Amino acid sequence: MQTQICETPASQKIGQSRSGNWMHDVIALLDAAIGHLHQEQAAHGAIQEATSLLRRQVDPQPLEGAADDGKDRLLAWQARKVLDYIDSNITSRVLVADLCALVCRSEAHFSRSFRGTLGCTPHAFVVRRRVELAVRYMLQSDMCLSDIALACGFVDQAHLCKHFRVATGETPAAWRRAKKRAQGADMERIAGPGGGVRGEGVLA
């Protein structure tokens, strides 16, 4: 028994296409196959599932009228790539367009996937990373707040103060003073009543 292979319009388009975007062509062929398999439910379901998977990977734009089910996520390698880029460029402007380019997604799709993965928008995440970096500088250095602001990618000290207050409920200066006092109190407790740190072998 000979098997007849029919050339569909979709398969003809593969030969004509010079873009090299073979995944779009595969989707077209699968769609065409689905139309001929109405009586073969198992095959129909498998091909439909494969088509949906390919379409989600190839076309970042949601189908018209489709609801966002909140299940968009960045793949693990995409998340690592994006986070590494943010941390490496935290002192300069981090544009959503540049993040999208890293993982080849549209801005709308990337923003949904980013929020689905990390629980916030790209802008909010970058601000949070900058505030965290400012905290480390304030605790581990004697840099003035204006220098810390610039070192963390904020426009100026006022910009740092605005976002720091939103995150902590305090100004950077007040927060820093409180932490310094707490550190001083901890050192006093360690030193003990005599004012000196007890060395090894010293009896109480």
> For residue 110, what is the domain's CATH number?
1.10.10.60
21 and 116 together in one domain:
no
CA dihedral 87, 89, 90, 96 (to 10 degrees): -100
35 and 110 together in one domain:
no
pTM of this structure: 0.57
Residue with more model confidence, 166 or 62:
166
Residue 181 has pLDDT above 70, yes or no: yes
Residue 130 has pLDDT above 90, yes or no: yes
Q: What is the pLDDT at residue 108?
A: 92
pLDDT tens per residue, range 145-157: 999 999 999 999 9
54 and 85 together in one domain:
no
149, 134 Cβ separation under 8 angstroms: yes
For residue 86, what are the domain limits?
76-186
Q: In this prediction, what percent of the chain has a pLDDT beyond 90? A: 51
20 and 110 together in one domain:
no
Residue with more model confidence, 42 or 84:
84
44 and 105 together in one domain:
no
Q: How far is CA 34 from CA 29, 54, 55, 59, 169, in A?
A: 9, 14, 15, 19, 58
Among 41-45, 90-94, 133-137, the range scoring the smallest mean pLDDT is 41-45
Residue 200 has pLDDT above 90, yes or no: no
Which residues, 6 or more positions from 182, have their beta carbon under 8 angstroms from its beta carbon? none
Q: Does 166 map to a domain? A: yes
Residue 13 has pLDDT above 50, yes or no: no
